[in-house]
Chains A and B, each alone.
Chain A
């Protein structure tokens, strides 16, 4: 066997071992890449969800904190069973009055009124009228709820 033959035999042996390594490496790399992508996508999606939750919570609380109503004036109609009230938005965000609950403190009886047009811009006011059979010289508790479920309370005595 001459030198040529020996060199060729050595070269052939080296070439066969490198192919398997490449294949294995490619497979491993692909698997890692796939797993990495999946994990990254999953993690990203989780973070996005958390971010949305955080957004929502912060936004809700932010709005609730800045939502303030002044129950400026409550008066009872002398000519019929009607109660009127003027509400003033003294907060920094717009709000929507959705429910007014009036409780007769003496008898604990509660009357609920729903409003769909109770939006008040910051610094604005609204006058609401509800049909309510008030009794003279009776203390009432008035509870006002906004769409964000913030509640404001006052007490009045009918004339």
Chain B
């Protein structure tokens, strides 16, 4: 019995050992598998972390010997192995190209001349996207293109004296918002005059203009001997369409450019005031009908309307007791009320509103025009003329003097829209005035016709010189080829355009013949209208000078101040 009990124990023990061994083996195997898996997760995670810590930068790229020359910097904290370079021609001219690389970079290390001897050709006129791939799977891209956002500036003096040398500096900034180089940047600088280039662009070119950098190129020129306006055009080779800048320089004596710099109207108008919109001077007092055109402009740059109750032109009696003007020939503007422009019993030319005042809307100019005639044989004298306006903003006044004599001429100055209608007098009322309304903001080459008229019976024995003052906000004041045709046909000599220190522009132009007969001559010029976000008013001032007039008073001068309304 003792032997039998021992046998069952042995059998049970065998089973126990088998079961235990199997379970332990399974558990051990499972644990091993899980451990291996955990290790692989850890390794994979470590690789991902390494990939995140890897960082390379293509610091610059140029094109040398028809191939790319890149500098790559390892900006990360791990060694990097560069394996591939991809080049995409963004113009689609050639297919994408690649080159195998085998470059190791330690942290902080940079490698030059990558791309040389790869066989991938490059030209500076094309746009390329470069891509460098690392062994861990990171990619760094870079662009080489002349077709990128740039800012070009021209630095040059506004006025230079004849035969003096001056510098023209072109500043080109790479404004690209992504890593992008302009390779082999060659500046271009042209002008519309025949200038002696004392020193060409220095430097002539640069190998590369990295993103955010600015380069300056300077040329030296000698100004011409004769007064002229020179326009420069700066750009660079293979620049995108529209990437250029224009700027003008005036070659002339500086004193001439300063003539009208103190004018109150050289900038945008800022207060309510009387514009002496049209004051004739001199006036002829012969028996012939003399069409004397008067204009009074009330400028309202305020944000509220201005009411006008009355406008008067007051001229005292001459020494012989005669008043200088007769009943108006035509009450031009405003046409209402019916009691408008009239010669009153107290010898004042007056427009009055009655119960309904005229309203000048916000940021506009009210125009009051009247044509008068003069009596015969007034003595030679300066007639003190006072213009008064009663408005909702108060009483405004301006004083002027007018030269009168029966042998004088009647000279009016105003602006016209249609130069063709000047050929056949009389000039219609809708084609003479002192107001340009609704000019669109930013208009390029807006034309203006400054017109001078002899509206009496006598020829003026002098040239007529116009001095036009254009506010600083109006740029690129010019006459141009097409405009010159009209001006030459009208009998104007070449104008001299000067820039004042405050940026305003003065045009000096005179008639080409020594006398000014009956009729009108329009001088046409153009300017680029400023960009405004709100309606803005400007005043263009025109003054006449009769430089060779021996008979009359040299102080005599017709005057026009035209209101210019620029709308957004």
Contact = CB atoms under 8 A, between A and B. Distances in A.
Interface of A: 21-22, 25, 29, 32-33, 36, 40, 43-44, 47, 50-51, 54-55, 58, 61-62, 65-66, 68, 70, 72-73, 75, 77-78, 84, 86, 88, 90, 92, 123, 159
B86 A72 contact: yes
Contact of A72 (B36, B40, B47, B139): B139
A62 B40 CA distance: 6
Nearest to B30: A54
A58 B95 contact: no
Contact of B86 (A40, A47, A73): A73
A49 B531 CA distance: 83
Nearest to B15: A36
Contacts of B7: 29
A68 B137 contact: yes
B92 A159 contact: yes
Given A54-B30, A66-B44, A68-B137, A73 B8 contact: no
Nearest to A73: B86
Given A72-B84, A73-B131, 9 more contacts: A21-B1, A40-B15, A50-B26, A54-B30, A55-B33, A72-B86, A75-B95, A78-B95, A88-B133
Q: Determine the main DSSP class of A at the interface with B.
A: helix
A49 to B, nearest CB: 11
Nearest to B91: A159
B86 A36 contact: no
Nearest to B4: A25
Given A72-B133, A92-B43, A43 B22 contact: yes
B135 interface: yes
A133 to B, nearest CB: 17
A152 B90 CA distance: 26
Contact of B40 (A65, A73, A90): A65
Most buried by B among A55, A66, A70: A70
A78 B11 contact: no
A54 B33 CA distance: 8
B136 A90 contact: yes
B98 interface: yes
A73 B83 CA distance: 13
Given A58-B34, A75-B96, A159-B92, A32 B11 contact: yes
A86 to B, nearest CB: 7
B92 A51 contact: no
Interface in B21-68: 22-23, 25-26, 29-30, 33-34, 36-37, 40-41, 43-44, 47
A123 B135 contact: yes
B88 interface: yes
Contacts of A51: 26, 29-30
16 contacts: A32-B11, A47-B22, A47-B23, A47-B26, A51-B29, A54-B33, A62-B37, A62-B40, A68-B137, A70-B137, A72-B139, A75-B88, A86-B98, A92-B43, A123-B135, A159-B92
Given A75-B88, A88-B133, A36 B11 contact: yes
Interface string B93-114: 0011010000000000000000
A148 to B, nearest CB: 14
